[in-house]
Every structure is written in C-alpha cells, then in structure tokens.
Structure 1
Amino acid sequence: MSGVHPADVPLAQARALVRRAVDKAEQLGLRGAIAVVGASGALVTASRLDHGGPGGMARARSKAWISATQQIPSSEHLQRMTTLPVPISTGFVTASPEALFPGAGGLPIRDAGGTVIGGISASGATVSPFLPAGVAPEVVSADGKPANPEDLLIAYAMGTPYVGQHGDDEARWKARFGDLVVSPEASLGMKPASPAAAQGELDWALALVDRVLAEAARQGLTISVAVVDRGGDPIQQDRMDGAVAGGVEVALATASAAARFGIPSEHLAAWYPADQLAALHPAPLLAAPGGLPIELDGQVVAGLGIGGAQPARCAALARDALTLAPSLPVPTSPAWPS
C-alpha cells in the first residue's frame, strides 16, 4: 500500500534544498527564512538566517504550503486569488488557514516521476523581489537577464532555470541600473555559492536539532523538533520522516512557551490560563511537556520544543539534548546577546 498514499519530500532532500538557499542568501547578503512543506501540508524543515527577523518563517511556510497543496507556483495562486470574487477568495483562506499569505515566490517540489511531494519558499527581513542597496548587477542577473533575489534563492535551491515570479524584473533593473547590460558569462545569480559561513545562530540551532534527531532515532521515536528565539519565532524546525503531522505544531508551541516565559512548557498552566495567553500574542503556546528554555550566561536566548511522541518522552528527550548542548559550538553571531 506504500505506493498508494502520497509521500512527503524526505527530510534529507528538504534539508539539502534549504541549505542551498541559505548559501545563496548569504552570497546575496539576504536575511530571512526558507521553508519546505510536504505534499500533506505538514512542514518538513525550515531555517532562518541570522538576523532574519520574526515573521519571515510564517510567510515562507504559507507560500510553501500553497505550492505543495495546490501543486502550482504560488504566483499562479496569487493571480487566481486576485481575480476571483471576494467571497470565494475569502472562503479559500477560511478553509485553508495555512494559506494566509498568498504571495509569489513558492514552487512545488516534484519527484522523479513528476508527482508533487512538497513546496518550497522564502521570505523575511530582506528576502524580497527588490534589489538590495549596493548589490552588484552581476549578482542579481541570471544568464544575462535581470533577476530578483527572492526568486533567485528558490531557483538556485531547486537547480532549475531562473523564472521570475514577481514580475517587473526589467523595471526594477532599469530603476537601479539604467540600461546597463550584463553578459551571460558575467551573470552570477545562478552560479555556485560557497557554503554559508556566517550563520552562527542557525548553525547552533541546527546542531542542537541534530542532537535531538539522532537521540530520537536511537530511541526508536519519530518526532518533530523546533528551536525558537526568545520571542518564540522559529530558527530551525524539522519533522522526521514518518513522524505525525501534529508534532510540528506541538514542538513549535512548547518551544515558544518555554522561550517566552523562561520555564519548562508544562509549568505554564500553573502561571496563567492558556486561553487568556492566546489572546495576548499570536505566538503559539502549549502548556504541555516537551519545551525547555535555553539560557546563555543566565539569560534566556531560545527555546527547544519536541512533539509527536508521548509528552513525557518528548520532555526527557529535550532535557537530554540540552544536557549535551554544552559540547556544541558556542554561538558567536551578534544575533545572540553577549
């Protein structure tokens, strides 16, 4: 029966796509987040570059969800939404709450047979179709033609020819560079990017997540894990192959609860009524075992959350990971407080 049911893009493949996008983003001097969602609509992996700022991950995830589940570029979905009668477009968002941000930039991911197995997108502080200040024209051109940074990230990650999804590449080019022409040979937009080397916070979060994933595999658990900043915005999220979809939200909500209040997530219920907290801030909060705060020099800087297995086992797994964390590289990015 395994061939009957649609499959999500494997975590290893999704991670590789995101890492290529991170490499290209650093080359372009961009800060934001990249997300991959499976064909099921459940998140597979997502990474936020250092200084990416909050909110980008949610937008990237929404556009990736659209591309994965509607099986079209999110730019095509956006065109449909802007031409439909308002009751229909409103109804779509109501029925599909993960499609709250129907922006351009997301692409479906297909397997070797052409079946959609996921979607990928990027967004964030400076991840946009606009040309960054001081950017060299060679960097934002692809094969001798104007390009935009956001769509370059995704095309490069996917290894596909550049196709602008945001329109007006020519207009933005002329506004910045006038009639300047860059030869195909000199165009760097789709040329190889060196491995990202200035992502201290992200690399630290990835190393911590990898500790969790390795220990979960050793224990025979299939889980989801999230590392968030002190405001509850995700830095790194992963769902193991075969893990239940609901663990993604549990991991994020327990991590957010731990980071925002500086206590293990299961202690939150003793402090405040959960329904009242939910009305105060949009960050998800779950007062259940699985989330722990992460401190650096006595100050909460992040939160770790695990979901998808029995809550007590998730909490124990989080404790084990943080016990081992001192052997991880200490984050040196200015994104971390000194």
Structure 2
Amino acid sequence: MSEAVRPHPRDLGLAEARALARRAVDKAEQLGLRGAIAVVGASGSLITASRMDAGGPGGMTRARSKAWISATQQIPSSEHLHRMTTIAPPVATGFAQASPEAVFPGAGGMAVSDGGVVVAGIAASGATVSPFFPDGIDPRAVSADGRPANPEDLLIAYALGIPYAGQHGDDGKRWQQRFGDLVVDPADSLGMATAPPASLQAQLDWARALCDAVMAEARARGVRVAVAVLDRGGDPIQQDLMDGAPAGGVAIAQAAAGAAALFDCESGELESRFGPVAALSALVVPPVAGIPGGLPVNDAGRLVAGLGVGGGDPAVCAEIARAALAAT
C-alpha cells in the first residue's frame, strides 16, 4: 500500500526531526542566539528536542508548547495566538484547559508538512531567541531577499528550507529601531545562506551522543524507547523518541531523568531514599518519578545531569541506561 493511501496518520520520523533541529541550531549559532528547538509530531508527541549551550532553563518548555500548537492545530502558532486573542475569553480558557501542552501560545511555531499532510510542528525559544535584532549583528545576516528577517522566525524558516515569513509583527519597525534607514540589497542578504555546522555546543553534543548510545543499546536489544538528558536543575538538554516507541515513554524518560538529576540517585531508589514520590513531586517543578530507568551522571565526582530511559520494561530501561552511560 502506498504511503499516500495508508489509513493511519503518521508523525515525522526521528531522523528527519533531528535533521530539522540540527539545521535550526546551526543557524541559531551563526546568528549568535542561544535557546532550545523542539519538534513535536502531529499526534502531539515530542519527537526530538535540543537545548543549545547556555540556552537557559524554560526555553524548552516554551518551544515545545509552540511546536505542539502548530503540529496539532496545523497552523502557524502566530495564527493560533491571533485566534485566542480574538475569540470569547471563555472559549480561549476552555481551549487551554483542554490542551495542557498549549501552555505558551506564543508566535514562532510552524507546521511541518509531507505531501500536503501535517506530520509535525517545530519551534524555538530560550535565553536569547527572540524576534528582536541583537546588538552588533551584521544586518545582512538578518535580511532575506533585501527585507528584514527577525532572528527567531529566520532560524525556523531556514530549518524548514522555506521562504522567510515573519510571525512576530512588524519586522520593519524593529529594523528601524536597530539599523535606522539602512537598506540591504537582496543580493547581499545572508539570512537564508547556508550556515556552517554548529561547533560551539559541547554540552549539547555530549547529550546527543549519550542519547545516541541509549538508542543504539535499545536497538541491539530489540526494543524502542524514549530518552532524556536533563541538566542538574531538571531542564532538558536533549530528548528523543525512537520511531515506533510508545509516546508515553517521553514523559517517563523525562521524569526518571528528573529524579536522578534533582536528587542524585537512581530514579528507582527515589522513594526509599527521600520519601513518598507524590510529596517530592509537590516540592519541585520538573516532573520526577520513582520508576527505574533514571541515572545520575557525574563528571569528576560532580553531578552534572540526569539520564532517563522510558517506554519499555522499567528494569530493561535501567539496564539500557547503565550500558549507554558506561559506553560514553
């Protein structure tokens, strides 16, 4: 049966989603931005997410929310924001209550289509990811075809390989405030020019390699899982969902990694060491779970991250995490 007539909708594959995230990171680094990129499938499940070095906590949550909106509503998140601010307040409130992933209805998310069918959404946010032109930036780098191109929307358009279109209001006004009456010739515009591979992302590269090791170990065992690497404060650095893995594994991997990162223990030991998980969850913002599969990650005796694996048998997930950590 051809893909076009298959009865079951599909999400974008992990390899394709990762390629989009890498392109976004490449362009962001070229522009001097620091933040997070999230790709969410049309089902609403997170496929992959990457936080750049010094990207700051919280950006991943915002990026994931905007990507979720674009993927599930099948529109740019700016259009969703417009609708939420023009419909009756009770309706907007009801949407938010019925759509817990849509916690940040900001502009910047874009739907990803394949053959005219939406298969994902992508968005960026974080410490310095914004529609404003940074101080000292080359105006040619934030110009597309001779027109102003704000950095946040530019990196998403570049990742998708589509013509630039601003989502954050008046690019011209922000350009005037930053560059005055400067005009860039279309031939000199570099906004959509090829960005070199990012080379300043040591922490992200390490987290990706750790996730790769987990997925390689899972494939060797014939299982499909989700994996998360969180910093010691519980904010995600890298997350991946293997093709065909249970979508719920994303939440389990993140919560297991959160337990390991925040409490410096294996997630399966959380309750025996620190008390009831429900009580602990009420004390911390990142989700934590006392399910095996999460391990603390140390560097020279110092806690630096939490690794979580979820979506399969918890004992097997814990074994996969240990094997992957030992191999990196």
The match for 1:41 is 44
The match for 1:265 is 267
d(CA) in 2 for partners of 1:5, 1:126 = 39
Q: Does 1:154 align with 2:156?
A: yes
Q: Does 1:58 align with 2:27?
A: no
The Cα offsets for residues 286-306 of structure 1, whole Å up to 9 and x where unpaired, read as 011000000011110001000
3-state SS, counterpart of residue 167 of structure 1: coil
Unaligned runs of 5+ in 1: 326-338
d(CA) in 1 for partners of 2:82, 2:282 = 33
The Cα offsets for residues 159-199 of structure 1, whole Å up to 9 and x where unpaired, read as 00000000110000000111100011111111000000110
d(CA) in 1 for partners of 2:112, 2:186 = 27
d(CA) in 1 for partners of 2:275, 2:74 = 42
Q: Does 1:12 align with 2:15?
A: yes
1:282-293 matches, within 5 Å, as 282-293=285-296
The match for 1:117 is 119
1:230 to 229, 232, 248: 232
Q: Percent identity?
A: 66
1:316-335 matches, within 5 Å, as 316-325=319-328
d(CA) in 1 for partners of 2:162, 2:325 = 39
Opposite residue 159 of structure 1, the aligned amino acid is G
Following TM superposition, by how much is the alpha carbon of 1:84 offset from its aligned partner in structure 2, in angstroms? 1.2
The match for 1:75 is 78
Following TM superposition, by how much is the alpha carbon of 1:274 offset from its aligned partner in structure 2, in angstroms? 1.6
3-state SS, counterpart of residue 37 of structure 1: strand
d(CA) in 1 for partners of 2:282, 2:265 = 20
d(CA) in 2 for partners of 1:154, 1:307 = 29
d(CA) in 1 for partners of 2:201, 2:220 = 28
d(CA) in 2 for partners of 1:80, 1:281 = 33
Opposite residue 309 of structure 2, the aligned amino acid is I
1:198-237 matches, within 5 Å, as 198-237=200-239
1:143-182 matches, within 5 Å, as 143-182=145-184
Following TM superposition, by how much is the alpha carbon of 1:279 offset from its aligned partner in structure 2, in angstroms? 1.8
d(CA) in 2 for partners of 1:151, 1:164 = 6
Opposite residue 21 of structure 1, the aligned amino acid is A
2:101 to 86, 98, 121: 98
d(CA) in 1 for partners of 2:282, 2:88 = 31
d(CA) in 2 for partners of 1:272, 1:66 = 37
Following TM superposition, by how much is the alpha carbon of 1:19 offset from its aligned partner in structure 2, in angstroms? 0.3
d(CA) in 2 for partners of 1:254, 1:15 = 23
Unaligned runs of 5+ in 2: none
The match for 1:336 is none
Q: How many positions carry a matched residue from both structures?
A: 324
d(CA) in 2 for partners of 1:282, 1:80 = 30
Opposite residue 141 of structure 1, the aligned amino acid is S
3-state SS, counterpart of residue 318 of structure 1: helix
1:230-249 matches, within 5 Å, as 230-249=232-251
2:188 to 186, 189, 198: 186
d(CA) in 2 for partners of 1:38, 1:243 = 13
3-state SS, counterpart of residue 172 of structure 1: helix
1:277 to 268, 275, 280: 280
1:300 to 284, 303, 308: 303
The Cα offsets for residues 257-285 of structure 1, whole Å up to 9 and x where unpaired, read as 10111100011111122222222222010
1:250 to 249, 252, 264: 252
3-state SS, counterpart of residue 151 of structure 1: helix
3-state SS, counterpart of residue 321 of structure 2: helix
d(CA) in 2 for partners of 1:272, 1:182 = 61
Q: Does 1:129 align with 2:131?
A: yes
3-state SS, counterpart of residue 309 of structure 2: strand
Poorly superposed stretches of 4+, deviation over 4 Å: none
